[in-house]
């Protein structure tokens, strides 16, 4: 039991129930056989697919996007919407994260603005309402050229 507890890197309880752990191939195979386990997957390093999210989402400033007419208005232009994103990092000084004109952070928000290297609590605002980073279990070699923070 102690060895199992030491192997856990992260534990998840919001959105889904699960954990990340450092396991041998044999341990992963054993756990995968339990009827309560939905799936066991290895942690895989992924390259960035796009740095042009607006193009990927077909959001263009100079033409109407390929969507239902009036959708943005009907959705109140995204007012009070919390968007969750898995990203490669955030640069809070970017103009795109300026929170001028934004209302208060939604009261239902339960997230966190995690501090770290070159990212302090004031890096979050009314637009960046939460930011986290996950580096446990990643080798120093991989983390070496990265900020150890949401940046």
pLDDT at 68 over 90: no
| Confidence category of residue 136, pLDDT binned at 50, 70, 90 | confident
Half-sphere exposure of 117 (CA within 13 A, CB side): 12
Instruction: Please state the domain extents for the chain.
Output: 1-33, 76-150
Tell me the mean pLDDT in the region 57-75: 65
Task: Find the mean pLDDT for residues 132-146.
Answer: 82
Sign of the torsion angle spanned by Cα atoms 104, 60, 84, 87: negative
Tokens of 96: 């795109």
- What is the three-class DSSP state of 42? coil
Tell whether the model's pLDDT for residue 115 goes beyond 90: yes
In whole angstroms, what is the distance from residue 101 CA to residue 104 CA? 10
pLDDT-based confidence at 65, cuts 50/70/90? low
């Amino acid at each position: 039991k102690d060895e199992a507890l030491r192997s856990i890197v992260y534990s998840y309880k919001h959105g889904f129930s699960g954990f990340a752990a450092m396991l041998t191939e044999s341990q992963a195979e054993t756990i995968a056989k339990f009827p309560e386990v939905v799936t066991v997957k290895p942690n895989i390093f992924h390259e960035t697919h796009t740095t042009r999210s607006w193009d990927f989402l077909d959001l263009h400033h100079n033409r109407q996007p390929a969507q239902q007419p009036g959708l943005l208005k009907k959705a109140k232009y995204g007012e009070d919407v919390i968007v969750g994103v898995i990203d490669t990092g955030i640069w809070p000084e970017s103009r795109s994260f300026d929170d001028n004109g934004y209302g208060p952070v939604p009261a239902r928000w339960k997230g966190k603005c995690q501090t770290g290297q070159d990212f302090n609590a004031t890096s979050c605002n009314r637009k960046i309402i939460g930011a986290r980073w996950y580096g446990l279990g990643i080798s120093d070699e991989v983390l070496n050229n990265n900020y150890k923070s949401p940046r």
